[in-house]
Structure 1
Amino acid sequence: MLTTYEEAVEWIHSRLRLGIKPGLLRMEWMMERLGNPEKKLRTIHVGGTNGKGSTVTFLRCILEEAGCSVGTFTSPYLEHFNERISMSGKPCGDSEIVKLVNVIRPLADELEKTELGGPTEFEVITAMSMYYFAFMSPVDVVIYEVGLGGRFDSTNIIHPLLSIITSIGRDHTAILGDTYGEIAFEKAGIIKDGVSIISGASQEEALAVIRKTAEDKKAPLYTAGGQFRAIEHTPLENGGRFTFSSIFKEYHGLEIGMIGKHQAENAALAVMACHILSANFSLPIEERNIRAGLLRASWPGRFEILSAHPLVVIDGAHNEEGIKALVSTLQDQYPGRKKTIMFAALKDKKFEKMIRDLDAAADRLVFTSFDFPRAASAEDLSEASISASKLTASDWRAGISDELKRIETDGMFVVTGSLYFLSVVKPYIQEVLNQRKEIL
């Protein structure tokens, strides 16, 4: 039996050696041994390429404003492992992680001896979350974020009240496929018989697949640009304002505390979800709950402003669509600012197109790397750039310290790319900025 939090997390991370093993048989085996906790939960399932975490947060905050207790299962974490299993936005405790590992570990050892093989890290954490919300910390609703794809994702053993597919983009193509249609097919795997599905997908190729799956499953489908939409988006200093228009209701002047037009679109998914939950499951969600929840919602690492003076932003844009959203936000929100952008990525990403978009957006472009097995080198990233103002930083800490000193009054520093990179960068930037304040 493990006794410390450090031992528990080390054991969980040791499962990374098993890589990604698509399929639900190991999850079903563990759930049966645990007394089928997934069947005791009222859940909402959120899949898609980008915007999952933000949509989960918007929806959580609205439901909380309506008086619901809400659990969330998200990935990856940005600063603390416990973030992945949270209740009311607060990560579960270290002691609870230890208890959960001691429940799941014997099952993992037993499963290892079967023809199914041992569970992966993500399967272990998913099982931990379901046991936690069913038996240790029951809540009214749990929102589950898909880890990868959808059809064979370990979260797909739930039968939710409602499913949401945020956007479809080209990410994890080696596993999910190269085309929008192929990727949409995997994402649409979360659609269940008769369960309403909300989609934010914009490509017709992807929408066609989602429509066909919904039709086959007799699942009512609501699409962005069809049955609902976010319109009249206006950038604000620390967020945005938009109008939500749907076949049910229209709300003018909704405000969000997250920056970017894409965040208004994510918020619209959450608002549409609330209409369906209210209509189909009698959840008492009122307009005031929607307005308050949207304004309160924040999601670390998504165009997060770490400092206003100097202006320092981190954003976990790690695929083509994410970078496009970042560039669009920079153009809309800060058209007159001189922009220095630092970028780090994983080598299994198709980063060439991302870098070309950054070339056009940055006045100064810094490529770096970090201590992670799959991290691309700064030199490889730089070779993909045609910017005349590019440079490499072999040591990202030194690079960040240098760039923070260089920021001018009309400038800004943006650190973007892999979320794994941002998880180590954020506390370092905060430390440097705090030291500067103390000196001043």
Structure 2
Amino acid sequence: MFIAAREVHDWMDQHCVMGIQPGLDRMKWVLARLGHPERRCKWIHLAGTNGKGSTGAMITSILREADYSVGVFLSPHILEWNERIQVDGVGISEESFVQWSNTLLPHLEELVAQGNAPSPFEVWTLVAICYFALDACPWFVVWETGLGGRWDSTNVVHPLVSVITNIGYDHQKFLGSALPDIAREKAGIIKRGVPLVSSVEEGDAQSVIHQVAKSESATVYQLHKQFSYEIEECTTNEQIFSFTSPYERLTNLSIGLQGIHQFQNAATALMTIDILRHRYITVVEEAHIRAGLEKVRWAGRMEKVQDQPLVILDGAHNQDGLLSLAKSLAQWYPHQKICFVLASLQDKEIDILQPIVELAHEIIVTEIPSFPRSRKVNELATLLKPHFSGTIQAFEKPEDAVQIAVNQASPDDVIVITGSLYLVSAVRSYFIKSI
């Protein structure tokens, strides 16, 4: 019997299978024993290589403006562990987390005894389902996949709408080395008769998505076909666009998140809202859409946490994410010196850092504390050296790397901390506490 959240985390560390463990058998076995609580919620299921978090944040913000209660499941957390499971912006309480962990414990222990131990992410997913379905009972749940889609532990729900934000190269060991293979895994969240919103642009990947949707009789709303956006203004202070769908056209929409890629995410979110409005009689007015988009915030995504020098946190950690980050920085800060503070995981190819290395005036590498998959600083520095002509500084502790970057910078310089959401999580409190 657990008494505190720390005991639950310790149990997961001791008894769960560490790392990625695809498959739904364990999830389905436990949920059947619980009486299928996953059937009680209105899920909005999101998959994609990048953009899930931002798109989900926009959907959530708009629905909350319309006075709907919204649960959110995401990973990893940035500041506090309970951010992973939240309702209306408030993380699950320790009391509820412990309560539902205790409810699950006999089933989890039986799995362990069978030699079929769950992963920590499966435990988190089960706690989230119990909390949303049997405790907090939000009107909607924005439900993010952890990895892929088809075998991801979140893929035990039957949603109101499925969303695939994009397809790019990430986790190829598990999802496949070619984009069509990765697309097929993401397309695993498509359910029979459930509408799909897709902002997948790459041709072969898009074809796979549409083939799977057709086989499941799922209506597809495809970016640049059934819905679209036009950029009206894109600066460090204003991101304004227009949106067109089969149901409406809205102009002069302002986004509260920074980055060129956020226009696509915003359009995807609005198409999802349109489906909820017109297919499921969800009452969302234009004023709710405008306010929700303008007020949305998402930690660790092109997040400005300090001025003079400007410090930006961005959790980009794969090829497409780092390329989007580089494009935004090149457009907005073409004449300023940019220092990157980087960390990387061991399973990431060093070539994915090339777009930001090309913008760098300085590079400082570090490690993610207490994270076994983090690449060591000396190895990261050695791998980057052939790609960067300047000096690369290395500090094992992220706080030391950040402090050096800030101390060395001029007031007009830009410091970008990126390469992993885990790094962003490790350093964000440094700035939030100092603001």
TM category, shorter: over 0.9
Q: 1:145 to 1:419 in 2, by over 3 A?
A: same
Structure 2 residue runs without a partner (length 5+): none
Counterparts of 1:36 and 1:281 in 2: how far apart (Å)?
23
Picking from 387, 390, 406, the partner of 1:404 is: 406
Q: Tell me, yes or no, if the aligned pair for 2:190 and 2:196 is still in contact at 8 Å.
A: yes
Counterpart in 2 of 1:63? Answer: 63
Match of 1:340 in 2: 339
What's 1:91 paired with? 91
Q: Render the CA deviation track for 1:271-312: whole Å, top value 9, x for unaligned.
A: 000111111100011111111111111111111111123211
Q: Distance in 2 between matches of 1:359 and 1:122?
A: 33
Mapped contact 1:235–1:259 kept (Cα < 8 A): no
Q: For 1:198-251, what per-residue CA distance to the aligned partner results, in whole angstroms no more than 9, with x for missing partners? A: 111110010010010011111000111111122125224345111112232211
8 Å CA contact 1:233–1:264 kept in 2: the answer is: no
> Partner of 1:86: helix, strand, or coil?
strand
CA distance in 1, matches of 2:180, 2:359: 29
Contact 2:198–2:222, Cα closer than 8 Å, also in 1: yes
User: Matches of 1:143 and 1:225 in 2, distance apart?
Assistant: 24
Match of 1:285 in 2: 284
Partner residue, 1:438? none
CA distance in 2, matches of 1:311, 1:13: 38
Confirm or deny: 8 A CA contact 1:233 1:261 kept in the other structure. no
1:299 aligns with 2:301: no
The letter for the 2-side match of 1:63 is L
Decide whether the 8 Å contact of 1:100 with 1:128 is kept in 2: yes
Cα deviation, 1:43-66, whole Å, max 9, x if unaligned, reads 110000101111111001111111
Aligned to 1:394: 395
Query: 2: distance between equivalents of 1:51 and 1:67?
Result: 24
1:369 to 345, 367, 370: 367
Q: How far apart, in 1, do the equivalents of 2:192 and 2:33 lie?
A: 26
Give deviations 1:72-105, integer Å, cap 9, x for gaps. Answer: 1111111111011100111111111111211111
Counterparts of 2:191 and 2:52 in 1: how far apart (Å)? 19
**8 Å contact from structure 2 (residues 341, 405) kept in 1:** no
Q: Give the 3-state SS of the residue equivalent to 2:154 in structure 1.
A: helix
Q: Judge conservation of contact 1:69–1:87 (CA < 8 Å) in 2.
A: yes
Distance 1:377 1:18 in 2: 20
CA contact (8 A) 1:15 1:121 kept: no
Contact conserved, 2:16 with 2:117, CA < 8 A, in 1? no
Matches of 2:231 and 2:430, distance apart in 1:
37
1:19-168 matches, cutoff 5 A: 19-114=19-114, 117-168=116-167
Partner of 1:359: 357
1:311 is matched with 310
Contact 2:308 2:413 (C-alpha < 8 Å) held by counterparts: no
Distance 1:57 1:260 in 2: 15
Using the TM superposition, name which of 157-166 and 284-293 deviates more. Answer: 284-293
Per the normalisation by structure 2, the TM-score is: 0.96
Name the CA distance, whole Å, in 2 between partners of 1:61 and 1:349: 32
Could you tell me whether the CA contact under 8 Å between 2:365 and 2:401 is conserved in 1?
Answer: no
1: distance between equivalents of 2:37 and 2:238? 38
3-state secondary structure, aligned to 1:331 = helix
| CA-CA distance at 1:354 after TM superposition | 2.2
What amino acid sits opposite 2:124 in the alignment?
I
Asked whether the equivalents of residues 194 and 217 of structure 1 are also in contact (C-alpha less than 8 Å), the reply is yes
TM-score if structure 1 supplies the norm length?
0.95
After superposition, give the CA deviation of every residue in 1:367-411 in whole Å (9 maximum; x if it has no partner): 222332111122332333322223131333222211111221221
SS at match of 1:154: coil
Alpha-carbon shift at residue 338 of structure 1 (Å) = 1.2
Identity over aligned residues, as a percent? Answer: 37
Quote the offset at 1:21 in angstroms. 2.2
The separation in 2 between residues aligned to 1:113 and 1:163, in whole angstroms, is 35
Provide the aligned C-alpha RMSD in A.
Answer: 1.5
Unaligned runs of 5+ in 1: 435-440
Please give the secondary structure, in 1, of the residue aligned with 2:162. Answer: strand
